Every structure is written in structure tokens, then in C-alpha cells.
Chain A
């Protein structure tokens, strides 16, 4: 799992590349959380267009970031999920908490 982080107008945009499973999510969580803590963005955009596999560990990752952002009143958007990854996000019911574009 690789990632690309970018800050735009108070928003932290995280582009994810690769396969989001328990192994990948563990590595990712620390990096993204450290950036949220230091930058204090008002919104977090998770760009899933480069994710070609995701299992339920991916839900855990999205919901965990939602909880973190929610504490400071920030919002989370998941963008660009396609095919199987999109199907997984729909199954998770994450759409009740985060915006799925």
C-alpha cells in the first residue's frame, strides 16, 4: 500500500494506491493519523481511485478516520472507488457517516 498526501484549502487529500487489507491498513493508519494530528485539517478526502482491492479491514480504516475527524468536527469524503471496492464500501454502510463520491 502506497499513499500520496496533499493539502488543499484546509483539506487533507490522501491518495491510496494498492491493496487495502489488514496488513496495508495497519501501516497506513499511523502515517495518516500523524498527518491529521500535525496539520489539523477541517476535512479529509480519501481518494480510492488507485485502490484495486479492499476487504473489511478497509471499512475499519475508513470508520477509524471518520471517528478521528469527527472529534474535531471534521468531515470525511471517500472518492473514486470503483468496481469491487465500491461494492465493498456499499456493503459496509459507511455512507451513513462519510460522503461517498
Chain B
């Protein structure tokens, strides 16, 4: 499928970058003219994925997070968020609702559940000691005016 537009952003795993990442994603996707609801879904999913990199992947250290967003000709938005942190030993377990590896820190264990609820497709690839990549797809429905909702 043809890519209409693409962006790539690399930033440090600092919690102050959570809002920077979701606002950047929102500003880039806005050119597809999505509904406010879909934009909020995307912002939330990005926030969850980036928070996971900060809280889990780079626990106790600072590393780089790369976010790539592709706008596809068929009105899909493909967002990939990648780190080179510790990796997830058991991806299936990590994606279970309410599972958290850090219960003492008030992590709700709902991050992946939120991503899966608000996005159409979520794929997680991880290798211990190498890092994790989360790819999320959201379908924006085209309108008669030519934009995507």
C-alpha cells in the first residue's frame, strides 16, 4: 500500500516527552482531518506506548525512543514506537489486562489494553536485552470531501 506521508522522531525516555510525543502524533495525523474522537484515541495509545518505554524498557536509565508514523493511501495510520531497552520476556503475559511488572508504582497494567481498545490493530515484537517495537494501526474512514474521518 502506498505511503502518502511519513515522519520519524527520536527523543529521550524522559517523562516530560510523553506529552511531546502524543502532541506530535496528533499534529501529524491532523492533516488527514480525523474526528476529534479518533485523534483522542491515537493520542492515548501513543501516550501508553511511550510511557511503557520510559517506565519499563529504560527502567532506571535513559535511552532513545523512536516514533515513526505513516499515513497510508487507504486511510490507515500506522504508528510504530520502538525502544532499545530491556525487552519483554513474555509479551502475551504483558498484554493481559491488569498485569503489571511494577505493582508497587501504581501502574494499572492497562497500557496494552488501552492501546488495543483504541486502535484497530496492535502488534508487539520484543527481544530480551534488545528492545521492543509496538506497531499500531488506526483506520480513518474517507469522506466524500476527500479527507479522512
- Point out the residues of chain A lying under 8 angstroms from B110, CB to CB: 56, 59, 91-92
Q: Which of A19, A26, A56 contacts B114 (CB 8 A)?
A: A56
A91 to B44, CA, bound (A): 13
| Closest partner residue, chain B, to A58 (CB atom) | B108
Contact A55 B40 (CB under 8 A): no
Contact B48 A55 (CB under 8 A): yes
- Point out the residues of chain B lying under 8 angstroms from A53, CB to CB: 22, 40, 43-44, 47
Per-residue CB proximity of B29-55 to A under 8 Å, as 1/0? 000000001001001100110010011
B111 interface hit (Cβ, 8 Å) = yes
A63 to B108, CA, bound (A): 8
Contact A22 B40 (CB under 8 A): no
B106 interface hit (Cβ, 8 Å) = yes
Shortest C-beta distance, B111 to chain A (Å), equals 5
A57 interface hit (Cβ, 8 Å) = yes
B143 interface hit (Cβ, 8 Å) = no
- Point out the residues of chain A lying under 8 angstroms from B105, CB to CB: 60
- Point out the residues of chain A lying under 8 angstroms from B22, CB to CB: 53
Contact B114 A57 (CB under 8 A): no
Contact B106 A21 (CB under 8 A): no
Mind listing 5 A-B residue pairs with CB under 8 Å?
A: A21-B51, A25-B106, A56-B48, A56-B114, A92-B108
